[in-house]
Amino acid sequence: MSVPAAPRAGGEARDPGLQPERTALAWRRTLLALMVLDVLVVRAWFLALGRAGEGSSAHAVGLGVCVAAAAVSTAVLALCAHARSRELHHGTTAPPASVLRWATAGAVMLAGATIAVVIIER
């Protein structure tokens, strides 16, 4: 599918080349890395659940909250990546501010959940 050239300020068309495809791939790579991070958070939670009989049930509950936050933030980022990929395939070059805000909020929430897991596991 060919992406139409976006007009520049001077009225001439800009050749986007492979930029939309590279941007879509970057969103997918980022999402894959975040899913790996989710797996590590879930792994820490399962290990804490296994130790819950040894008196560390508060850790398991705290890690459960971190797992929920990580899952929600990854879902938000997946929706942002899907929306951005769809926009790129339709020829939109600039992402809407709402997609960037939601993506930033999801990344900050996932970072917070990951930091909380590290603190809880100490």
Q: How high is the pLDDT of residue 87?
A: 80
How far from 30 is each of 16, 36, 70, 80, 120, CA to CA, in Å?
22, 10, 14, 11, 25
Instruction: Render pLDDT for 51-77 as a digit per residue (tens, 0 to 9).
Output: 776 666 778 888 899 999 999 999 999
How far from 16 is each of 5, 69, 81, 89, CA to CA, in Å?
6, 37, 19, 12
- Quick one: average pLDDT of 85-97? 76
Instruction: Render pLDDT for 95-120 as a digit per residue (tens, 0 to 9).
Output: 788 888 998 999 899 899 989 988 98
Nearest CA among 119, 71, 81 for reference residue 102: 81
- Quick one: average pLDDT of 74-89? 85
Rounded to two decimals, the pTM is: 0.72
